[in-house]
Amino acid sequence: MTSPAPALSVLDLVPVRTDQTTADAVAATRGLARVADETGYRRYWVAEHHNMPAVAATNPPVMIALLAAATERIRVGSGGVMLPNHAPLVVAEQFALLEAAFPGRIDLGIGRAPGTDPVTSFALRHGAGGVGEDAVERFPEYVENIVAMMDEGGVGLSVAGRTHELRATPRAASRATVWLLGSSDYSARLAASQGLPYVFAHHFSGRGTAEALELYRSTYRPSPENPEPRTFLTVNASVAETTEEAERLALPQLHAMVTLRTGGQLRPQLLVEEAEAIGFPDAHLPLVNGMRGRWVIGDPATAAERIADLAAEFDVDEVMVHPVAGSYVGEPVDSAATREATLRHLAAAIPAFVG
> What CATH number is attached to the domain comprising 124?
3.20.20.30
The total number of structural domains that make up the chain: 1
Provide the 8-state DSSP code for 227.
S
Average pLDDT of the segment spanning 118-136: 63
Which residue range(s) make up the domain with 201? 7-349
48 is a domain residue: yes
For residue 43, being part of any structural domain is answered with yes
pLDDT tens digits, 96-107? 999 999 999 999
User: What proportion of the chain, given as a percentage, has pLDDT over 90?
Assistant: 78
Question: Please, what is the angle between helix 285-294 and helix 243-262, to 10°?
Answer: 120
Residue 2 lies in a domain: no
Report the pLDDT value the prediction gives residue 208, as an integer from 0 to 100. Answer: 85
Do the domain assignments include residue 262? yes
Nearest-CA neighbor of 63 among 104, 103, 107, 19? 107
pLDDT of residue 240: 98
Give backbone dihedrals phi and psi of 341, rounded to 5 degrees, phi first.
-65, -40
Pair 66, 30: CB distance under 8 Å:
yes
Q: Give yes or no for a contact between 32 and 10, defined as CB atoms under 8 angstroms apart.
A: yes
| Residue at 354 is within a domain | no
Helix/strand/coil for 43: strand
pTM for this predicted structure: 0.93
| pLDDT score of 242 | 98
Residue pair 79/46 in contact (Cβ under 8 Å)? The answer is yes
What confidence category does residue 165 fall into, taking pLDDT thresholds of 50, 70 and 90?
confident
pLDDT digits 0-9 by tens, 33-69: 999 999 999 999 999 999 999 999 999 999 999 999 9
- DSSP state, residue 42: S
Note whether residue 1 is domain-resident: no
Q: What is the mean pLDDT of the segment spanning 240-254?
A: 98
